A and B are shown apart, each in its own frame.
Chain A
C-alpha cells in the first residue's frame, strides 16, 4: 500500500512569503503529526491532528498552523517566513490516536529553504 506522501519535496521561498505543505497519510490512518528537523534543534514536534481536530501542539509561534481534512489529508502553513524556518518538514501518520501507542510512519519530507 502507498506510504505517506508529502508534496512538494523541495521548496525555495523568500523571507516574508508564506508556504503550504501537504501530506497524504497512509490509507486508513487517522492521526497526522508534523515535525520540523534542523541540524541545530533536531526533530521538533509541531502539531498532531486526529479526525480533523488539532489534538496537540508544540512550542512554535502562531505563524505555524495546520489543518486536517475529512479524508485525513493534512496541510501545514507557515506565514511570514524567516530564514530560521529553513528545515526538513516531516509528516507522520499513525493508525489511531497517539494514545493508543502505535509508532509513526513518516513521509520523505519537504525540504524548505528560505532565502
Chain B
C-alpha cells in the first residue's frame, strides 16, 4: 500500500506560529495531495504536487516533496484559529487513485 502516514498525529500551537506536518509513504507516486477537513465535513483540496516537483506554494501554505526520502511536508505559516482542522496527505501511484493517510489534527489556540 502507498498510504501516506502523517506525523505528528496531533499538533497544538498558538496563533501566529508556524505549523509543520509531515507525510511519509512507501512506494513510488505520481502525485501527492494535501487536504483539510473541518470537524467531520467534506475535505478541501489544498495543494497537489507532482512527483517531478520539489516545492509548491499557495498563500500561507508551502508543500515540499522529497521523492528520494519518500516524504512530504506541509507548512502553514502564521497560523490562525481558523486553520484548526485535520490535515490529510493523499498519495496517488500507478492507478492515480488518491490513498489517504490518517491525518494530523491541528489545533490553533487564539
A residues contacting B by CB (< 8 A) are 4, 33, 35, 42-43, 45, 48, 56, 88, 90, 92, 97-99, 101-109, 111
Contact = CB atoms under 8 A, between A and B. Distances in A.
Contacts of B43: 90, 92, 104, 106
Interface string B11-41: 0000000000000000000110101000011
B99 A103 contact: no
A101 B97 contact: no
B92 A98 contact: yes
Contacts of A104: 33, 35, 43, 45, 98
Given A42-B100, A42-B103, A43-B100, A101 B42 contact: no
Nearest to A99: B96
A53 B98 CA distance: 19
Q: Which of B41, B96, B100, B102 has the most CB of A within 10 A?
A: B96
B87 interface: no
B50 A101 contact: yes
A42 B102 contact: yes
A24 B48 CA distance: 23
Query: What secondary structure prevails in chain A residues at the interface with B?
Result: strand
B59 to A, nearest CB: 16
B45 A103 contact: yes
Given A43-B100, A45-B99, A101-B50, A90 B42 contact: yes
A98 B48 CA distance: 12
Nearest to B30: A101
Contacts of B30: 101
Nearest to A98: B96
Given A43-B88, A106-B42, A107-B42, A101 B100 contact: no
A4 B42 contact: yes
B10 interface: no
Contacts of B92: 98, 101
B10 to A, nearest CB: 14
Contacts of A106: 35, 42-45
A96 to B, nearest CB: 11
B42 A102 contact: no
